[in-house]
Amino acid sequence: MDRDLNAPPLNPLPWIVWALALPLIAVEVVVQLGQSGLAGGPEAVGWRLRAMEWFAFSPDALRRALETGEWPLDTVWRQVSYVLVQVDVTAAVFVVVLLLALGKMVGEVFRWWAVALVFIGSAAIAALVYTLVMPGNRIPLIGGFPAVYGLIGAFTFVMWLRQAATGGSQLRAFTLIGVLMGVQIFFGLIYVGLGWVAELAGFGTGFLLSFVVVPGGWRRVMGRLRNR
């Protein structure tokens, strides 16, 4: 078989994946430049905290909006903007790497707008669940993991359908999320963290949205159910 010598050695990432990842990368680069003293002067050391103040999601603000019916633009914006800033550089690296890897795999099956909808929709619903499930919780939500877990949900959906098509065990599709959530809950209990609630909600949102946005997803699922 003839090989195209001009073809790239690796399949390029879908452009929508870069569009989602670059804002996260840009925020972290600016923060790191400030912390290293390369930009912004002495005050730049606190740029991460400043970014958290600008972008973090506030459960209290969402509760007020739900109670009063008034939706300030800042409250709506923060339901998704919190993914832009991470708690530290290690978290930023993990979020970006997972976003690029999962985005590539999901983007090979989903349309570009479906990838964006899963990512942004998972972030927004995760923030809502984070607020409603724990009424007394006032801890701000930051970081891109809930949105990335939405992509894990979409990837799980793709693997779930693939296992069904090949006659394999569909439970195997949930291996990745099972391991990740086990680790997250374990550390959440040790450090009294609540982020795992948003991450689990992000996964569920991504998985359920996939029934609607994946090409032929719902029809394929219904077809499988009818043939049982």
Which residue type does 181 have? M
- Report the alpha-carbon distance of residue 188 to residue 75 in Å, rounded: 26
Query: How far is it, in rounded angstroms, from Cα 55 to Cα 141?
Result: 9
Arithmetic mean of pLDDT, 9-13? 69
Instruction: Give the pLDDT band of residue 18 (cuts 50, 70, 90).
Output: very high
Q: Over the stretch 71-81, which tens digit does the pLDDT of each residue have?
A: 999 999 999 99
Mean pLDDT value across residues 86-115: 91
Residue 8: inside a domain, yes or no?
A: no
Average pLDDT, the chain: 83
Name which of 221, 179, 198, 187 is nearest 56 in CA terms: 198
CA separation, residue 112 to residues 19, 34, 90, 125 (Å) = 10, 34, 28, 20
**Residue 21 is assigned to a structural domain of this protein:** yes
- In this structure, is residue 59 part of a structural domain? yes
In a domain, 179, yes or no: yes
Residue 65 within any structural domain of the chain: yes
In a domain, 3, yes or no: no
User: pTM score, two decimals?
Assistant: 0.84
Say which CATH number the domain at 100 has: 1.20.1540.10
Average pLDDT over every residue of 147-159: 90
Q: Which residue has the higher pLDDT, 226 or 182?
A: 182
Measure the CA–CA gap between 208 and 140, rounded to whole angstroms.
26
Rounded CA separation 116/107 (Å) = 10
The pLDDT of residue 1 is 44
**Residue partners of 87: CB distance under 8 A and separation at least 6:** 142, 143
Give Cα 142 to chain centroid, integer Å: 11
> Is residue 190 included in any domain, yes or no?
yes
116-67-84 Cα angle (round to 5): 30
Q: How many domains does the chain have?
A: 1
Question: pLDDT value at position 164?
Answer: 65
pLDDT digits (tens, 9 = 90+) for 158-206: 888 777 666 655 556 567 666 666 666 555 555 446 788 899 899 999 9
> Which of 28-37, 64-73, 96-105, 210-219 is predicted least confidently?
210-219
CA distances from 163 to 8, 105, 115, 167 (A): 29, 16, 21, 6
Give me the domain span that covers residue 97: 15-226
When pLDDT is averaged across residues 148-163 and rounded to a whole number, the result is: 87
Answer yes or no: is 203 within a domain: yes
